[in-house]
Structure 1
Amino acid sequence: MRTKTDSKFAFNALFVKLMLSFLGVILLLASFNLFSHIYLSKKVYQEMVRQNELGLQQTALSYENHFRLTQNIILALNQSAKWTANLGLLSHIGENRRYDVVSEVKSDLVTIYSNPFLHIENFILYFKEADYVLEKDGTSRMNDMFSKYYASKEYPPEYWRQQTMDKQYMKILPAADFTETTMNSMRPLGSLLPLVVEVLPYKEVYGIVMLNARELQTAYGDGSSNPFYILDSNGDTLFSTSIDHTPPGAVSGNGSYHKQVGDQYYFYQKGGHTGFTYVRVTPAAAITSGMRQMQLLLAALLTAAVLASILCSLFFSFRLNQPLQRLIAALERKSGAGAGKLSSVKEFAIIGDRMSRILETNQFIQTDLEHKNSLVRQYAYSHKVKNIPLNPNLLDLEDTQAEDQPYAAVLFKLSFKQPSQSPEKDTLMLWQLIQRLFLGNEGDMVAVQPEQNQLLLLLFRCGPQSGILQTLQTLKELLEEEPALYLTIAVSPVYSGETPITDAYGSLSSLLKERRLNKETQIIVEPRASSARSFHVKVTHGEELSNLLLSGNEEAVLGWLDRQLEQLNQKDAAAEDFRAFAAGAVEQAGKTVMKLGLREDVLIQPVLKENFENFYSTGQYRAWLHALVRPILADMRTKSETKDPVLAYVLDYLDKHYGENINLNLVADKLNLSPGYLSTFFKEKQGINFSDYLNNLRIGHAKELLMNLDLRIQEIALQVGYLNVNSFIRMFKRASGLTPGEYRKSHASGTPVSGDGPE
């Protein structure tokens, strides 16, 4: 039976070990790739942040350079004496009427805003005292300029009138949307970033440079749609590409950094020249999208690599494990088949060939060993049943007996209805049939043959008795149509392992005697009550049959025998009771033969046990008993017709004086005959020697006296003519096969004893 540890997928199986080893390597490589992925993800994140920071640094540097360049250009103009003089004239143009200077100043302005890289929309000179402005298109009143031509709600004309530099040379104002209004239309000028400078040495003259904020962003930005801010030193917004976001604030000190607020990354860069803070807002998704794509790609590659590795591991593990599994299957296979071809690998093929030979040899050895073990068990149990001690060299056979296990015993006795031509063959076939019927049951079985016509089955772990009886009923049905034989089956209860097998066998042997007189197979489980138990004792010890025989009335003798058989039949007597009755009748007939001095050959031969063993009907006993007494009665009639007076005297004298110390010489003297003549005469008439007749007569009377339990054996010996008790015991055993004590004990227990020798 295969256990859990024998399973192909047990933890300690080779296949599992190989798979775990491969999976360990795969896990190690996958862990390395995972850690590499995490490390690279961090690196990618840092690189993307660094790229955003570098981009913002470049943007901030470009803006700072642009503001510095614009400032330097205006400073260069302020250092021009002609420029300074012309501005002085224009400051008081209402007084000096020098309108010719306007064209010269305009030409200087053209050189500035005509440069496309400066992204200057207009350069406006605001003469605060004169309250007019000069720009690329000429002069105009300040109020018209900032309410019509460069109108903005953030910068109305009043704002410019109140504008002061506060000791600053250059000031950049927040960007705003400007429009140009004409007679019939209004044209947007876009978002302009005003840059105000003080035109030295005139404190009431300001230069207002209108920088195109969108062009600056296009030129210096990263080209993305991400929000961009320029904050002044106070954190106020100077320029923004988005109206939906307001940055958290400016940074303090120089340098750059970034932080995440919600789902946005804010990158800050401090300008070194202006002190402005440049802010770029990048959505977290913009940074993580690239990382996510890379992560998905790496995860897909890692998953594919792991799956491919697992499939390869399964394939190689299976290829390595399959030959060994075939080898294990061959080892566990109950048939004699070999391991077969394990694999195309040379080493496995050699192992398979060698294992095939080993398995064939092992199968032969196992079969032979099982057969010998069966014989050993039968040998051990046979000795156990018969209570025969084992040879000291074979005491280890006791281990083959499962006496600690519950068991049941079934004893079969075979009887033939008619003589069989091959009784040994028929008996063997029947025993084999019985064993096959019980081999299908659960548990273990041992078959022992204690006698030639008996079979004892010991059934271990057999279950309840009802299952055994069901199998026996099947056997009985099979034997119903068998004309030549029948079985007597004794069944024990289920014993515990403590009950000795010899006791079980003794109980079953007693149950066999419960068989009733018929020719059917009988199953006996327990003894049945019967009133015929002591019937044969009365016949054996009584004188009724002997008296009838002495009368010589054949009709009376046969009628009495028939009546006794009928009474046994009516009392539901066992077959053993019929045999005991017949044995008692034989004993009484033998006494009569001895008493009358008849020829002993008139008794039926051979031994009674062989005659009665296969009797199964009252008619068989009737015919046999009739055949027993008829020769005796016939011999009595013949002898009475030819009775000799000398012989009659001798027989009568011996019958009356057998208890005295008599011998052949004493009787011959009484008849005035020589001892030799009397011995020859007696032998010729009786067919038996004088001394043998006298001993048989004395033993017959001794048997009757032994029934009296108050008499000692020594007293009985003296009463029947034996002065030496040892001689009495020796003669009694030679005549009856038993010692006087054994004879008395057997008759006290109701067991019949034959006077013709040991049974």
Structure 2
Amino acid sequence: MIKRAGLKLAFNTLFVKLMVSFLCVIVLLASCNLFAYLYLSRKLYKEIVRYNELGMKQTVDSYENQFRMTQTMLISLMRSDRWTVNLEILNRVKDNNRYDILPEVKENLAALYTNPFLHLDNFILIFRKAGYVLEKEGTSSIEDMFGKYYASTDYPPEYWAQSTAGSTFMQVLPVSDFQEHSMGQTRPKGPLMPIWFKAASYGDVYGLLLVNPQRLYAAYGQSGDSTFSIWDREGAMLFASSPTGDMRSPVPLQRDTYHERKGNFFYFYKKGADTGFTYERVVPIASIAAEMMRLNVLLVSLLSAAVAVAIVTSVLFSLRLNHPLSRLIAMLERKSAAAEPISNIREYAILSDRMSSILQTNERIRTDLDRKNTLVQQYAYTNKVKNIPMAPNLADIEQLVQSNRPFAAVLYEIVFKNPELAYESKMLMLRKLIHNLFSPRDGVTLPIEQNRLMSLIFDPDSQSDLVQTLETLKQLLLADDYLYLTIAVSPVYPAHTSFTEAYGQLSELLSERKLNGDTQIITGPRASLSNASRLKLTAGEDLHTLLMNGNENAVLEWVDRQLDVLKRKDAAVREYRAFARGAAEQVEITLAKLNMRARTEMLLEIEKIGRLYNVKQYQDWFRELIRPALVVLAERSVTKDPIASFVLDYMENHYCEDINLDAIADKLNLTPGYLSGYFKEKVGINFSDHLNELRINKAKALLMNLELRIADVAGYVGYQNVNSFIRMFKRCSGVTPGEYRKALPPPAQRSDASNL
């Protein structure tokens, strides 16, 4: 029959393995049931008591090891010289402002409270001298920490402000219920077991470990109907697994382990070898009787199962095939490779090996996709902020953007005071610091420009909450004098607000910073700048006249006066930059009129304005701008051409008349063609282009008078046809005269500028 079935009798084949396993199971079940019935039926009651004693011993050993491990880790931490020095510095942080070591100490705390074997809810350092605490969420006062965030009727703030560790290194205190009071609401934190210790060998610094006793009991306690409690050396209850009237204060133990029966309960006691605590377990007698009944039922069931196995041998033989297959299916459902071979059967071993290889490859691909999805999400947010349209084949990327939740935005503009140095590593550290500050929140930090970062925080509490976090960042940057930040903080936007709109508003707020080299946090337009924001300093004809006179002292005195006006009016940085650009443009215009365009590119370095952060730097920048220009003007005055000067002067005095090249050539006894080429060579611009440029510049000044019509202005500057004037004005200026007039500032602003 075996030959007809085509089965091979090799030991590692599926058929032989199933047959041998089946027979072994039948023999084992029969033997176990017979032994259990003969042996356990006689000693069942003693074994149940012994079982409780062994369980009690295991639980006590686990708790003792837990307290010993906690003490060992604390002692190891305190023996660190670095830890001791850091605590001493932080205890006097109000004097030394050494907030930069907070992250390092928080990492030391995190090494303990993130240890899953310690079952800690928090690790709190209490600096009594400085009057604050440090924990995983940051810093706060002692009153706020134990009056708001970890409030307990058993342990008010005064307790932690005055209590000492006593003669012991580590003091375990009774469990108490803690709550958090914030935003007008009370949120229970559940029962916690405080462990109080002195965090440094000297100085008024204490540590507090908040242990979750329920998790600890779930890890070490026994299941069932029993009640478990811990008592200290003085007989005070430290912890009880459940409130019950069956507990009673343990009597002094004559030996380490003891049990007794009182009424309807068994009391099991054991004394901790290291802590001296007394551990108590109360087991109802009814529970033990129920266990006995369950064991008797189990014995009968095992005997019945042994008989059933013999009857349904053929059924179990078929079911044996299901076990390796179910493990293979489970491995596919978990999408993870098996930790060990599924079976030593050759057929299943081959399947398991192939599937494990496929799943491992799939896991590597998934990890790589997760990393790329993070980059894609950042790309999607950046495109959403800048309103860059997605390609049709990338439209699904927008689903990664959370655009249906209230949010707040923070825009950072970073300026390095010495741009010639390489600050790539500093930039990365700054970005990591900002990310860590907002990491507990639901948000993302994006690089927007080369020197700009933007944080989007979803469902924030309030703008003031963000400002408080950013104040911490500002304090951490006080020691870094090589850079400064301008931080614009938005209010909480509703869900329908676009990221692009938020970015535009924050970009406007960045220009509200004051002129200094400090990090500034801006939450809105400064009221003190209501006058300065209307300030429109322009160089205009005053600077042109001073440049043409060639008096360096007069020009620089004029510049210093304008900068002093800006300073007295508490102007924003944008006002300084606008004035500097206006002055640079006027210098360029003055040089251009004298055919010195090639020299202006060497003189004007407008991009340097963005790195100036005090008035002295602006004064130096103006001197670098103006002194070379005056040198060039002086050289030009020495080599001034008489024919070109005559033509320029004539155009300046008669631009409002109907003048042309023929008339001026006749006055000089020259042919128009010769004069045209000569003028272009000396001045660098065609006669007609220069005349139109001169007339349009004069027209711009006249357009500031709103009582003049555009047709009147056209006639005053020499255009008899108003349409020709409009076309020429738009060609030179890019806008029509009407559009130019609408873009002019209100009269009050122009009067301020004229006074300057």
**TM-score w.r.t. structure 2 length?**
0.50
